[in-house]
Structure 1
Amino acid sequence: MPRFTYPELPLDALLRRAAVRDPAGCAVRTAADEVSFAELDDRADRYAAYLRHRIGRRGARVGVANVLDADFAAAYYGTVRSGNTVVLINPLIKEAGLVHVCATAEVEVALVPRETAELLVKAREQLPSLAEIVVTDAPDGVVPADTLPLAVALAQAPTAAHDPGRAGAEPADLDADACIQFTTGTTGLPRGVRLSQRNLVANAAQTARAHGLGSDSVTLNHLPLYHVMHLNSAVFAGARQVLCTDPAPQAALALAARTGATHFYGLPARLHRLAGAVGAGGQGAGGPARPAGLQLRAVLSGGTALAPAVARTLRDWLGVPVVQGYGMAELSPLAHSQDPASPVSGSVGTPVPGTECRIVDLVSRGPVDVYGTGEVQVRGPQLMSGYLGDASRAGVDADGWFSTGDVGYVNQDGALFLVDRIGDVFKYDNELVSPTAVERILAEDPRVADCIVVGWPDPVHGALVWAGIVLRDPTTPEPADVLEAIVTRANERLAPFEQIRRVEIVDSVPRTPVGKPERRALRRTVHAKAAAEAAA
């Protein structure tokens, strides 16, 4: 493998470097304004000065809500610049999840929007470390009791000329925690992942190279939240970022055309809706027109699997590759990416530069051959420092290999194909069944709006395939007949051990904010039904 190098710089120096190289260049564009690299860097300085003044030491943890706004970028880099650690707060989570994140990370200052601030005020007795709550979206200055508007907080900070912390700043420790990102919690309580400055700078360089980002790139983020992967890689490359808060995919494409976007970052759920509107035959009768003036080089999807049929539909309609990647919080987050020049259908691509991947047997834990199925292990400079409260660096062996918990295989070219999560796969007669693989076949039926698969316990075979299906037309007069036809069609394309043997109509599929199916609670329900049926 060619040696991969990345700058030996603190994370916030990526923004400083971009501001020096292209001070007037647009760093972030929102519906409200455009912020240049120099302006963003200055805003980061103001946040840093406030935090140095308010906290008075290095190493504290600052909660920052990753709203899709340029001020998140300023607060993120400013916190790191102040010598403290960013704790990413999802502004969509409810009170229990918010308390878990802030209490586990011992957040001392929170920079959050009004709704999140209200929840924090309500839960303050459970958060003894929390000293100050700053409301970031209060232009009128009206905020909940016991909180501060952002403008008031920043005004407390000394100016650059009178900021002793800035003048005598200590050299940054590149292996110190820069950011704590919590896992999605689909298999248990969310865990705080400790990411160092080195981890994040390395992954910024890896992502920029894998996605082909440069100073002439324009990245459009069609996401519900600001993701640090997109932020760091764009700033590393000196690329312009466009933030789209409109959830409609067609509106995002229209914005991409108006802003000259070269890279379109979207969630699988939104891309799936767009492909459904386009139709399998391209634009199709009554389908949306492709916006004029598009300059896209690639559409990039992540967070969960994108069905190959959806990728093909959008590729044919837009005339650009639709690229998938693979990663997780523990990997800062990107580990694999398809090559935009030649994506391999169904895979998540090859390891990003400087990253190694291998597959190990689920039982013996020894490496398996090409096309052999087992657990995916990864190592590289983007691998986390560890989890909060866990000195053992769980999941990482003595040779630096991280066990991801995902099942997959690699082909002869090193492209990774994911099968499922270890906790989601189940066995029928000693054959491994991937719920995702069965869902992919079901989802190609035009009568299926959404679906989810788990194992139904069976004393003879181990587990049977149970499918919950959301009908595209819930008012159909003969739903049982439609369900039978859907299952028959799918089973014709599935291996004997993958056959759907239990099926129900469901109103909706429980999913995480990034579109991953939440199987844990559903498994409990299905297992309870199986137990009741067996006892009857």
Structure 2
Amino acid sequence: MPDLLDGLPARADLLLHAAAQRHGGRPALVLGSRTVTYAELDAAVDRCAAVLRERFGAGGAVVAIGADLHPDVVIAYQGALRSGNQALMVIPLLREQQLQYVLEASGARAALVGAALHERLSRVRHGLPGLELVALLGEEPGDADPERPPRLAQMLEAAVPGAPEWHADPGAPAALHFTSGTTGLPKAVVLSHRNVTVNAVQTARAHGLEAGSVTLVHFPSYHPMHMNSALAAGATQVLVPEADPAHAMERARTCGAGYIYSLPARLAQLAAHPRLPGMRLPDAVMIASGGSALAPALAGTLSRHFGVPVVQGYGLAEASPLTHFDRPGEHLPGSVGRPVEGTEHRAVSLEDGSVLPPGEHGEIQVRGPQVMRGYLDPAHGPAVDADGWLATGDVGRIDADGRLHLTDRIKDVFKCDNWLVAPSEIEALLAEDPTVADSVVLDRPDPVSGAVAHALLVLAAPDSPGEAEEALRRLNARLPYYKQVRSHDVVARIPRTPNGKIPRRELRASFHARLDGGSPMVILINEFILTSAPEEFEKVFEASSVYMREQPGFIEHTLVRSMTNPNTYINIARWEDAAAHIQVVQSEGFQDHIRQLAGVARATPQLHTEVSHVER
């Protein structure tokens, strides 16, 4: 696709090199008082590539990279590509079990990680026999612990650059990216060199980046999309890892940032910050939110104050990831934008897959050069049809101007009188009511309409239960009859995952079980494969069991041991409902026990609901 790449290399490993040739003296990365020019970054990546090439050759070994926002992350990611191997970005907040799963499923042979992630990795390292190299990213630790692995910076100082150039096909694998796992275990997506490079160019053009643009990245960790798009444009990335949004905005003002990238949670804090009235961003072109949905009211507050659009695009791991974004100045509130350059989209019927006209809700499908090669595990299916269309699993509509309006995940929407109902749309309206602190909407089976909306409400004033009826009366006055909430429960809290998402499947299963006259109880079945002596595992498990038995919502558990494989144990635990279980497993006390269990066994926990129960 020469017209889209516009002379840029089709291989991701040469993207930075091309930028360094054009903009060698310009700042590429800025962190505090440290500035790294494009030429300096290119040289560091050369050395990193030499280190990895010497260790793994150019055979496509997976190099996992996970650390806080730091220039070393860019060096490691680009170095993995340039060495002829594959880069895998790992979220540095992953817990031990999640980290072990990602590294094991990807077949990672190297892990270049920050100090905090390394502490968790060290607890499961014995269960990762294929992991050959571990190195630390970021600043030098304060203590000189001989048990710590070498720092990447030290390895680069000792490296001799100049490894032979690697000649790869642009369609060859370049990077892995795991899906969010909201509909099951995360899946590893395989992206080609062309996928990565094309999407970097698509993103840079959609955002309006060019040589000399200044972007401010206010994330806890890097996402390859922001890294690669800035490199493709020759832009400067100012890194702000500190969580304080006021500090980030002051940094954006002083560095003259035109493009500010942040998270919904941090932008929500900014909108409510007492210092917001005095903040100014004179050079800003846009503020972009990513990761999860940003409430329209918050976006409006910030947009009016700073005088720039606060926008959100759309993408998914299977598409490298960006597929939709409106250029600054063209954004329409409530929409995630038009397809980025070279990309097509369509909505298809949930019943028969037929293509729908503008304005009708259906599953969104996309097609373009950024769509993945496939999943690493063939068992996860192709996801892309013979004509190149990728089924996103998201429901939405495409308006007459070609803009995409998303409503929900396919697994979350339901039909009332054959009308499609998206729970997230109702929840967004509830979020605007000052008496509602949080909510989740589920489908309640109905003999006439098929299903109707049921709400779980957390009230801002818990001692005023009558507020729930008033809030729903105001809500329903704004909705067509088929979207109106017909019943509700007032709850103390809505459980959420660490990244803020609602575990709808578990809540829905528990709610439906209660409606069917059964118990909303959930059953945890956890298989443990030992990596230590059975006596050691049983000792650690018993300590964990004592903790769990003391938690609200716990009913009972049974631990059994395989008669044919003594290294396999299965724990069956019963909880009153999904919310109780989720609340406990997210507690720090539980995480302490998980860390200890990860040191003696590999676990595969799964939640179930009871179908039948027979007693003698």
My pick for the range that moved more, 131-140 or 429-438, is: 131-140
Say whether residues 1:199 and 2:199 are aligned partners.
no
SS in 1 for 2:277: coil
AA in 1 matched with 2:254:
R
Say whether residues 1:344 and 2:332 are aligned partners.
yes
SS in 2 for 1:351: coil
CA deviation after TM superposition for structure 1 residue 259, in Å: 1.1
| 1:131-156 deviation digits (Å, cap 9, x = unpaired) | 12112246147457473333454455
CA deviation after TM superposition for structure 1 residue 510, in Å: 4.0
| Contact 1:375–1:408 (8 Å) recurs in 2 | yes
AA in 2 matched with 1:230:
H
Residue equivalent to 1:299: 287
Mapped to 2, the partners of 1:234 and 1:225 lie a distance apart of 16
Residue equivalent to 1:44: 45
Say whether residues 1:371 and 2:371 are aligned partners.
no
AA in 1 matched with 2:129:
P
Q: Which runs of 5+ in 1 are unaligned?
A: 278-285
AA in 1 matched with 2:94:
I
SS in 2 for 1:185: coil
Mapped to 1, the partners of 2:286 and 2:497 lie a distance apart of 25
Mapped to 2, the partners of 1:26 and 1:128 lie a distance apart of 40
Per the alignment, do residues 495 and 144 of structure 1 end up closer, same or farther by CA in structure 2, a change over 3 Å counting? farther
Aligned with 1:523 (options 497, 508, 516): 508
Q: Which runs of 5+ in 2 are unaligned?
A: 521-616
| 1:284-303 deviation digits (Å, cap 9, x = unpaired) | xx662242453101111222
Residue equivalent to 1:353: 341
CA deviation after TM superposition for structure 1 residue 498, in Å: 1.6
| Contact 1:58–1:82 (8 Å) recurs in 2 | no
Say whether residues 1:27 and 2:28 are aligned partners.
yes
CA deviation after TM superposition for structure 1 residue 184, in Å: 0.6
Q: TM-score, normalization: structure 1?
A: 0.91
Mapped to 1, the partners of 2:459 and 2:32 lie a distance apart of 36
Per the alignment, do residues 509 and 249 of structure 1 end up closer, same or farther by CA in structure 2, a change over 3 Å counting? farther
The alignment yields a C-alpha RMSD, in angstroms, of 2.3
Mapped to 1, the partners of 2:238 and 2:429 lie a distance apart of 35
CA deviation after TM superposition for structure 1 residue 255, in Å: 1.4
Instruction: Choose 1 or 2 for highest CA Rg.
Output: 2
Mapped to 1, the partners of 2:144 and 2:383 lie a distance apart of 46
Give the ranges of 4+ consecutive aligned residues of structure 1 lying more than 6 Å apart after TM superposition: none
Per the alignment, do residues 385 and 325 of structure 1 end up closer, same or farther by CA in structure 2, a change over 3 Å counting? same
Residue equivalent to 1:264: 260
| Contact 2:53–2:83 (8 Å) recurs in 1 | yes
| Contact 1:311–1:322 (8 Å) recurs in 2 | yes
Aligned with 2:152 (options 150, 153, 170): 150
Mapped to 1, the partners of 2:444 and 2:327 lie a distance apart of 38
SS in 1 for 2:50: helix
Mapped to 2, the partners of 1:142 and 1:459 lie a distance apart of 68
Residue equivalent to 1:496: 481
CA deviation after TM superposition for structure 1 residue 526, in Å: 2.2
SS in 2 for 1:111: strand
| 1:223-248 deviation digits (Å, cap 9, x = unpaired) | 22211111111111111111122223
Say whether residues 1:176 and 2:172 are aligned partners.
yes
Per the alignment, do residues 340 and 514 of structure 1 end up closer, same or farther by CA in structure 2, a change over 3 Å counting? farther
AA in 2 matched with 1:149:
R
Mapped to 2, the partners of 1:57 and 1:211 lie a distance apart of 34
CA deviation after TM superposition for structure 1 residue 72, in Å: 0.3
Per the alignment, do residues 462 and 248 of structure 1 end up closer, same or farther by CA in structure 2, a change over 3 Å counting? farther
SS in 1 for 2:205: helix
- How much identity, in percent, do the aligned residues show? 44
Mapped to 1, the partners of 2:139 and 2:205 lie a distance apart of 38
SS in 1 for 2:324: strand
Residue equivalent to 1:282: none
Q: How does 1:378-457 map to 2 (within 5 A)?
A: 378-390=366-378, 394-457=382-445
CA deviation after TM superposition for structure 1 residue 375, in Å: 0.6
| Contact 2:318–2:372 (8 Å) recurs in 1 | yes
Per the alignment, do residues 4 and 25 of structure 1 end up closer, same or farther by CA in structure 2, a change over 3 Å counting? closer
SS in 1 for 2:314: strand
| 1:83-103 deviation digits (Å, cap 9, x = unpaired) | 000111111011111111100
My pick for the range that moved more, 24-33 or 220-229, is: 24-33
SS in 1 for 2:40: helix
CA deviation after TM superposition for structure 1 residue 173, in Å: 2.1
| 1:1-38 deviation digits (Å, cap 9, x = unpaired) | x9644433321322112222222211111135222112
Mapped to 2, the partners of 1:143 and 1:502 lie a distance apart of 59
Mapped to 1, the partners of 2:146 and 2:391 lie a distance apart of 44
| Contact 1:359–1:376 (8 Å) recurs in 2 | yes
Count how many residue pairs are aligned between Structure 1 and Structure 2: 517
My pick for the range that moved more, 354-363 or 251-260, is: 251-260
Q: TM-score, normalization: structure 2?
A: 0.79
